[in-house]
Structure 1
Amino acid sequence: MMKLNLFILSATAMVNAVVSGAPIDPIDLGTAGDFAILSKSGISTVPDSVITGDIGVSPIAATAITGFTLTMDSSTEFSTSGQVSGHAMAADYTSPTSTKLTTAVSDMETAYTDAAGRGTSLSTPLVNYLNPGAGEIGGETLKPGVYTFDRDVTISNGAVTFDGLSTDIFIIQTSKSVKQAADTSVTLTGGALAKNIFWSVAEEFIMEDKAHMEGVLLVKTAVTMKTGSTMNGRVLAQTAVVLQVATVAQPSA
């Protein structure tokens, strides 16, 4: 009887270990993490947006950065704008800018692939949640882990809260879109940091008027931030980024 009880305890411990999962590693952004906004197809704004950090486009030219009133630096390696605290860069600027952007875009694509594939390897068990709330996460408190969706992720029913320590990782991955309703927000508690929240989105990421977001957007297609929307994080998109009097501030830590 004792041996049977020990076997049951041992089996239970093994199951719990798989359910609780291994520690989740952050997504390595590489040099894409040098940018507040990085896009392959263009960055447009309806003035005045406020961007804290650098912005860049590649492999396209600077003509794909619109609405910012760019002023070319004498080095011809970057431009400046009253709406951007850092530099604006494009693939047609003087070297080494083009090389830097090529590497950053490659790193962005690698980071997206990593984030989109997390939680699928049996050799690396993670805390994985499938379609919680049937896609509606507004009003929910999310713990560290990988959240996988095969449908649109919506934030409509109030704020979504990420609760964890400063070292905890959150990954939200969807094969569809993320749609955030007007006047809703993402909040952080317990020490959770925006730099450790990764949104892996295969389709569009859309923020309506006055919505607030936290985290790193790794988006396969377009990102739209409408009037008065704000973000503490980064926008790394493989097509276009459209800003309508929006604010993007890269995480300070």
Structure 2
Amino acid sequence: MIQSSRKVRRSAIIFTAVLAFALIPAAAANADTVIDGPVGLGTAAPFGVLAASTVTNTGPSIINGDVGLSPQTSITGFPPGIVNGTIHATDAVAAQAQIDLTTAYNTAASLTPTTVGLGELAGLSLTPGVYSGGELALNGALTLAGTAESVWVFQAASTLTAGSGSLITITGGASACNVFWQVGSSATLGSAAQFVGTVMANVSITATTGATVTGRLLARTGAVTLDTNTITVDSACDASPGTVTTSPEITSAAPPAGETGTPYSHTITASGTPAPTFVESGALPPGLSLEETTGLLSGTPTTPGTFEFTVTAANGTAPDATAVYSITVTAPAVTLSGSGASSGALADSGADLAPAAIFAGVLLASGLALALFARSRRLRG
């Protein structure tokens, strides 16, 4: 008996687990965040150097672009350094540029990598894409091969180090305007390095003796330190940023069961930018329909049964999100109508049946009493 009880409990647990699993939407691929052009720098775009704590220069550095600092105040080394642009020392322009740099940094960090796990970049020839690693290093030559529309985004979770004499070459008409380095901590450019792209460091950037940059050195919270460097912001860079989009993920719970003849409503929701639309395939319960733009599943079920269908959410950014659902529609419970419907009484006919019921009970009791009396006499006789 105990074993039988255990088997029942075990079967119940297994059934519950299977049922719970069946109600979970089919696992969709993780949402992807992509960009169809360069990372938008906003008002930070004209700056060859932008820092938060200090800008320090040694030697005859040349900055072909603006130099800015916010919120601190110390910009030193100009001269002997030369700025072929405007110095914005703790003014409104530098403050806004820092805000826009933070936006650009976060955008670059949010993009879904096309390649992960990178470390040493020397010797590689990379097509356009988003490349991610922990500590990125360049101790040699890196080639970026693409076209004028090509964009590269490098994500370093911690540091970026370009060794002495390292070299980045871009080919096929590609532009330094479209190369971005998002660095989780600090970046260091070694002596005589020839670096390409916009460096957006969460903390600080150091360019050692003779390093050249075709691009920008932008530090969010720390310093930019220079030593006889040449930094050139390409004036031909297109200021129009790319559009950032995120593929959909279905976020709502599985639809509940329904009942024939009873109005039904359940909204399927999904994240994603732009907002996704919804398409179903398979067998919706007859009487229900799915609204394409809102994800509202509604109507009045007409047929009992179990119906399986798939919902796909799409917004033009791959991958689409899909979920497989099953809705069970039941017929309503049968009840007797009238004033006593809830207790199963007969329908109200307008007649009072209580006296008749009492009389029938009295007759039944009298009959039983006579039968017992007769039997008792036979036994005594």
TM-score category of the 2 structures, normalised to the smaller one? 0.7 to 0.9
The percentage of aligned residue pairs carrying the same residue is 34
Check if 1:50 corresponds to 2:39.
no
Structure-1-length-normalised TM-score:
0.77
> Which residue identity lines up with residue 102 of structure 2 in the other structure?
E
Give the RMSD, CA atoms, in angstroms.
1.7
Check if 1:107 corresponds to 2:89.
no
Q: Distance in 1 between matches of 2:131 and 2:81?
A: 38
Deviation at 1:41, TM superposition (A): 1.1
Partner of 1:154: 137
Partner of 2:71: 59
Q: Distance in 2 between matches of 1:175 and 1:111?
A: 16
Structure-2-length-normalised TM-score:
0.52
> Which residue identity lines up with residue 188 of structure 1 in the other structure?
I
> Which residue identity lines up with residue 252 of structure 1 in the other structure?
S
CA deviation digits over 1:193-232, x for unaligned, max 9?
1110010001111011100100011110111111110000
Superposed structure 1 runs of 4+ greater than 6 Å apart: none
> Which residue identity lines up with residue 153 of structure 1 in the other structure?
L
Partner of 2:233: 250
Aligned residue pair count = 204
Q: Which of 110, 121, 127 is equivalent to 1:117?
A: 110
Partner of 1:164: 146
Runs (5+) with no aligned partner, structure 1: 1-17, 70-80, 92-97, 120-126
Q: Quick check: 98-107 or 196-205, which moved more? A: 98-107
Check if 1:88 corresponds to 2:87.
yes
Partner of 2:363: none
- Computing the radius of gyration from Cα coordinates, the structure with the larger value is 2
Runs (5+) with no aligned partner, structure 2: 1-29, 237-381
Asked whether the 8 Å contact 2:35–2:111 carries over to 1, the reply is no
Partner of 2:127: 143
> Which residue identity lines up with residue 110 of structure 1 in the other structure?
T
Greater relative contact order (CA < 8 Å, ≥ 6 in sequence): 1
Deviation at 1:87, TM superposition (A): 1.5
Partner of 2:180: 198
Asked whether the 8 Å contact 1:47–1:68 carries over to 2, the reply is no
Deviation at 1:25, TM superposition (A): 2.9
Q: Distance in 2 between matches of 1:66 and 1:109?
A: 24
